[in-house]
């Protein structure tokens, strides 16, 4: 039996629980549905080290799979400085503080959302 697709808000909540469980820092989410053609939400969180970033990403992926939420792709698992998880309706960015400051995704998406 096929399960009903999850809403983007349910996916965000599922990801937030995983991020909180592994103590990700400064978790933010932006609803970008009206300004983006490729996703509904962008999430950004930080880890304290390469190992922490990888552990957070692994937990998010594990929980998405447990909830039968399709993962369309992942990027950056080799670099451990910025891992992106594409869950279709939700894009999750797990970054080092340095990468997060450098790329400043919050101001990019927050500015457009206003």
Q: Facing residues of 75 across strands? A: 84
Q: Where are the domains of the chain?
A: 8-106
The answer to whether the CB of 101 falls within 8 A of the CB of 77 is no
pLDDT digits (tens, 9 = 90+) for 22-76: 999 999 999 998 888 889 999 999 999 999 999 999 999 999 999 999 999 999 9
b vs e for 16-46, b when ≥16 Cβ sit within 10 Å of the residue's Cβ?
Answer: bebbeebebeeeebbbbeeebeebbbbbbbb
Q: What is the pTM of this model?
A: 0.88
In CATH, the number for domain 8-106 is: 3.30.460.10
């Amino acid at each position: 039996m096929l399960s009903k697709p999850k809403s983007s808000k349910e996916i965000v909540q599922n990801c937030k629980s995983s991020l909180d469980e592994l103590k990700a820092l400064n978790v933010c989410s932006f609803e970008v549905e009206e300004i983006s053609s490729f996703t509904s939400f962008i999430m950004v969180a930080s880890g304290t080290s390469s190992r922490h970033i990888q552990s957070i990403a692994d937990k998010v992926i594990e929980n998405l799979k447990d909830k039968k939420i399709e993962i369309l792709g992942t990027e950056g698992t080799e670099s451990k400085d910025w891992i992106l998880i594409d869950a279709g309706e939700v894009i999750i960015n797990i970054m080092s503080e340095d990468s997060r400051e450098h790329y400043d995704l919050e101001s990019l998406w927050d500015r457009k959302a206003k």
